[in-house]
Chain A
């Protein structure tokens, strides 16, 4: 293996016990069964100064799983910059935090729950929402919005319909119950996701800057208190057996490793934790996610440079005869770990009792630097079952620098010659191609999804789902502190582009996101990412991972957008087939004045339609090729970061001076789809002439980046043209808003109502018609 382990050389604090480890050979055999390599097992023995006990071995195997330790991605992630004028908290905490003005701050993070959802979509997606929301309120932020970015196989397969319907149902069930509006997201269907669907959820929370809380344990003698649900055997080993391996025939048997959610408990936990945080009753707060108590406690101790001593018998258990390691690694949901001073413990108890939430002091912070686990059911001289250096356990997982190799298929797809296809020509064929495009699962309305999500609860949703980005007002209705500021939220990533060229595709995700934000009038502030790839131990997969990170990080640096949080999901492979490389991103933008925002809908009869940017002959990787010919090939649309920056700046200025009435980004499906969406949103037709030198299909469906369709009152047009010239942004006046038809000269002529019926009805039909 060409991977090399990079180890740190820090001093190890002395053990507090004279615990003996297990037999060396049995230890190695067990380690391998738990997913560790021989090298990693030897590293454990070195840190422990002996062989590990069975409890220690379980704990190390979870903490050093790919999912918890980022051992294959850590070096690559260093390429990201997390510096920026708005940043209050970068990566390394439960979520990143940015300042959004007037002392308000926003915490956000994107996280995947792919592997559990591929086994049990409803609970997988539901607990995915639960997990990311805990990351948000752990920071002291009230969750104010979420988004979900979904990828599935094609809906002609019953299994894919089951996964899609189940995942949407899970997000709906859990998110709605929490009273957190799901305001946006995206979905894409392709065979590449057939074995491994992606369920990536963004959580967003609001706090006052001074309320920012970090999960840093401190103060020897302080209590460690477990709050929330009881601990069972659910989800044991989820991080290692599900999230850190490929799927095969045995995947169904992993169903017990999927956790089950209880959204009411989580809703109560939010209220309890925010109340106690605001009252200053917690020294530190962390959530229990992957690897449960083990990772939460060891990370808290390691960040604070302290030790922690836990008695597993004090943990409230929902099953009998649980072993110490089971209690330590259980992934039962809806649990939080708090550090509380002895004098504050009665207040914590009172608050929990009032809300009907269980709590138990399970241990103490110590000054030993050791993570000690005891089982007080055992005889007094044998109660300690694990004794590990907390910092080594949490931070010192081996770091790999895996081998990379540029995949051979890249040359093949780049060489694709579109002239080999018999493309539609003439009005009749183009018209049919257009109608087919509107009915594509990847183009049609997402209403069937977002109508299942309560997207207006909390009363701050300004721009509803269906626009380029969602807009949420900043304010705390409960405290009566309202503002006229807002944030805009979007998720973006075209996995097909990333498959065809990971660097360009990843950059495409960033420019589409900045453009989506600009279309609603928001200035990009920060990014969270969720990097979904196949098996990192395969050099070709790892090359695409590294290349995509280069693309994301170069684009983010150009726009000075920090990457403040994120998550890596590897092993998205089934039977040896990896998903499209999918570096999903969530981007947050700031809006200083909610009176200056924009929506995609055409507004008034006679308004002039203008295309900012220029359509090029770029059908490679397009939805047109994918849906019509089943082709995942060609070069994806090129990215010009400078042009994008100029375009976004111009758009923001046009919105700020109220020069335009609508703005909508051209992306999948090209300008034909963008125009149609603006018309459908405004329930008014249009007539345009796409006077370019391209073939009919390229003209309608090319997915060239850096294009936005705007509309404006006629008297504004001259000044818009002047501004575009001054800023060097290509512009063409293409037509007018009005009537009840969709008219694209020489190419498309359709009745708006007829198109609306297809656009609105397709997704539901695809899910339910069979």
Chain B
């Protein structure tokens, strides 16, 4: 099981992601953004950070990197792709996922651990039961998910909403999202379920460095799925 972790100029969570994947016992390699062949990887991860400094708009420049043509091709072919934080922003800019991520409602960068509820979705990245509550760190300035009403309805109807911000109890209240995200959306997938974008950072909570290991499901889930060849 081999993950390719893409590095754009300004990415800064690629090392954390490679570490988490290797810690869980899988292979991981750094993929420079100018590479054009992703065929040897079983899954692709677009890491967090500030690709191209977030200049112009988060992810707007990175989507034109040579590697992204290949990411789109692999996604269309059904390969599992995960975008975390800036990676999620890049996936929306590349139109692999609908909607956009705008400034947090408080207009401040937010770094904190939040409660999230796993929804009943078509996403293939985790096989944990719907309703599972995770505590994952967020660290972003632009995590406020928006889309038009039709898209939102499609996301809801198709089971594309993967994670919602929630209260400690698991209840999703109108203002559970710390960043103002529409419908408390923290993560969505494409219709096919192989492309996942999420603002929280599961890779930061895999090896238990600060006690929490809630991130492991997102890596183990896709591996189980691939090994069971369900995809």
Contact = CB atoms under 8 A, between A and B. Distances in A.
- Do chains A and B interact in one complex? yes
Nearest to A453: B111
A462 B210 CA distance: 5
Contacts of A457: 12-13, 16, 48, 139, 204
B12 A178 contact: yes
Contacts of B110: 451-452
B74 interface: no
A473 B207 CA distance: 12
Candidate in A355, A453, A454, A473 with the most chain B CB atoms within 10 angstroms: A454
Nearest to A464: B210
A456 B111 contact: yes
A337 interface: no
B174 interface: no
Contacts of A458: 15-16
Interface string A322-353: 00000000000000000000000000000000
Interface stretch (A190-198, A204-212, A259-267): A259-267
A176 interface: yes
A452 B16 contact: no
Contact of A455 (B12, B52, B55, B111): B111
A462 B54 CA distance: 28
B209 to A, nearest CB: 6
A452 B109 contact: yes
B53 A452 contact: no
Interface residues of B, number: 31
A460 B207 CA distance: 10
Chain A residues touching B, range: 35 or more
A92 interface: no
A221 interface: no
A480 interface: yes
B54 to A, nearest CB: 7
A264 B52 contact: yes
B83 interface: no
Nearest to A448: B108
Contacts of A178: 12
Interface of B: prevailing SS = mixed
Nearest to B47: A179
A356 B19 CA distance: 26
B223 to A, nearest CB: 19
B214 to A, nearest CB: 13
Candidate in B13, B19, B110 with the most chain A CB atoms within 10 angstroms: B19
Contacts of A456: 111, 137, 139, 201, 204, 210
B135 to A, nearest CB: 13
B54 A463 contact: no
Nearest to A179: B12
B209 A460 contact: yes
A176 B50 contact: yes
A451 B111 contact: yes
A454 B15 contact: no
Given A452-B110, A453-B111, A477-B19, A459 B204 contact: yes
Contacts of B95: none
Interface in A453-482: 453-464, 473, 477-478, 480, 482
B203 interface: yes
B50 A263 contact: yes
Contact of A459 (B10, B19, B52, B109): B19
Contacts of B204: 456-457, 459
B209 A461 contact: yes
Contacts of B112: 451
B30 to A, nearest CB: 8
Interface in B3-58: 9-10, 12-13, 15-16, 18-20, 22, 48-50, 52-55
Nearest to B49: A179
B138 to A, nearest CB: 10
Nearest to B207: A459
B10 A461 contact: no
B177 to A, nearest CB: 15
Interface in B52-97: 52-55
A428 to B, nearest CB: 34
A480 B29 CA distance: 12
Contacts of A478: 15, 18-19
Nearest to B28: A480
B9 A264 contact: yes
A69 to B, nearest CB: 35
23 contacts: A169-B108, A173-B109, A176-B111, A177-B50, A177-B54, A179-B12, A264-B52, A267-B10, A355-B9, A451-B108, A451-B112, A452-B110, A452-B111, A453-B111, A454-B109, A455-B111, A456-B137, A457-B48, A457-B139, A460-B209, A464-B210, A477-B16, A477-B18
Given A177-B53, A463-B210, A478-B19, 13 more contacts: A173-B109, A176-B109, A177-B10, A264-B53, A267-B9, A451-B110, A454-B111, A456-B204, A457-B16, A460-B209, A462-B210, A477-B18, A478-B15
Interface of A: 169, 172-173, 176-179, 262-265, 267-268, 355-356, 450-464, 473, 477-478, 480, 482
